[in-house]
Structure 1
Amino acid sequence: MFLTRLSSPFAQLLVTNVFFSLLLGVPLSVSCPQRCQCTDHSGAMAVLCSSRHLEEIPQDIPKDAVYLKLDANKITKIPNNAFKHLNHLEELDLSRNAIEKIDMAAFKGVADGLQMLDLSNNHIQSIPKEALVKLNAKIRLSNNPWHCECTLQEVLWEVKLDPESVNEITCQTSVREEYVGKPLVQILDSGVNFCNIRQKTTDIAMFITMFGWFTMVITYVVYYVRHNQEDARKHLEYLKSLPSTQVPKETISTIL
């Protein structure tokens, strides 16, 4: 009834926004990303963007967001500085997406306050160590098609993994075939060091390269000597074929 007394369409729209803001418990100053819902969760801003068919991270997430749920979307990449303005962020859920690539500075700006980061159930095969090492948050990396090698091992050494999901980090591919399908933590606990494996592989490659060069040099020397011997033999036979009066003995002795 109150709305019908307002003659201005702008005034009607303003009152409508006030009504829904009060209903949802959201301050009027908050601009919520399209297709997302912003609510007050125990006095903290929660931005809920779950299952909204998002293909990238929204640009207009409120800077006072404390909880951000982007799970169950179609996000494929976390670019640099994607969350740099979210200084109050404590929980970030990126699970059940199609994430394949995470840039080195993807989580720059949220390192200090972030308490939980969920990257489980994505398409991540590798991740730069620099993207996670400065985070104090518990991190979930389970159910991704990980390639187990030195870089991933270094990531696990540096970050704080969520203990409930640590055994679900398995090797879909690996530098060694026998580790495929096994939990990475179990492999590392058995004493395997992927960084040593990489060093040994590099050493073997260098040895093979050096051996190849050495073989080429030896082959060239042998060819050179044999070629000169053949030329010398032909020259000697030529000299012997000449009349003896024309071939000084000193020349033959020098050749021999």
Structure 2
Amino acid sequence: MPRNLSSYMIQTTPQCPDRCHCAWDTFTVVCSDAGLREIPERIPPETDLYLSDNRIDSLSTGALRNLGPKLPKTRLFHNPWHCDCTLQELMETLNLEAETVNEIICKSSVRGVGEGSRWEDPGSQGEHAGQPLAKLLDSGVNFCSLQRKTTDVAMLVTMFVWFFMVIVYVVYYVRQNQAEARRHLEYLKSLPSPRKTPTETDTLSTGF
């Protein structure tokens, strides 16, 4: 029995995650075909973990770190993996077996510039869909670079739209003020001219 797992089991009795089957005598947790969307919690360290045939498309930071510095056998195949910068960085930092890494096939991938949003066209899942993540990384594909470029373009488009809206508002505001000024001027012109009030001198002069 591994030393870390022995200490863990002495301190507390492991609780099997929901929808999983656990065999603590062989240090195995089987969560295959359980409809999971994320890695179960409360997995003891140095445990073989089977997660195949689920709906997991990404791994959160630290999702597998509680299994120990050297990860045991972990099965991740037949999941709809979305290959992006987060998954790439995790694969580069986690000490996974080569067989486990090769099991991660991209169901979809982060879009490059001009490919549109991940959710715009469900039928189009990115140019790297259907390819092993390890093979893509070995060939020089950098999802973090693609993601940054896409983010930069999105920011530029957002800034352009914002600037355009400001210009439209300023033009509208100026025209509204000009129209209001013209209406006010026309109103003043339409008022009758005030009659001249006779002064006392005029009254006296008309009396002689």
Q: 1:243: how far off?
A: 7.8
**Does the 8 Å CA contact 2:102/2:134 hold for their aligned counterparts?**
yes
Distance 2:161 2:134 in 1: 38
**Does the 8 Å CA contact 1:117/1:137 hold for their aligned counterparts?**
no
**Does the 8 Å CA contact 2:104/2:133 hold for their aligned counterparts?**
yes
**What TM-score do you get using the length of structure 1 for normalisation?**
0.51
Equivalences for residues 172-251 of structure 1 within 5 A = 172-176=107-111, 177-239=126-188
The aligned counterpart of 1:120 is: 52
Pick closer, same or farther for the CA change 1:171–1:103 going to 2, 3 Å: closer
Higher strand share: 1
Which of 152, 165, 170 is matched with 2:105 structurally? 170
**Does the 8 Å CA contact 2:55/2:79 hold for their aligned counterparts?**
yes
Residue ranges of structure 1 left out of the alignment (5+ in a row): 1-53, 69-91, 247-256
Distance 2:32 2:145 in 1: 33
Pick closer, same or farther for the CA change 1:162–1:125 going to 2, 3 Å: same
Pick closer, same or farther for the CA change 1:130–1:174 going to 2, 3 Å: same
Same amino acid, percent of matched pairs: 48
Deviation string for 1:14-54 (max 9, x for gaps)? xxxxxxxxxxxxxxxxxxxxxxxxxxxxxxxxxxxxxxxx9
Pick closer, same or farther for the CA change 1:141–1:244 going to 2, 3 Å: same
Aligned with 1:160: secondary structure?
coil
Which of 3, 9, 34 is matched with 1:98 structurally? 34
The aligned counterpart of 2:5 is: none
Q: 1:103: how far off?
A: 4.6
1:155 is aligned to 2:104: no
**What TM-score do you get using the length of structure 2 for normalisation?**
0.61
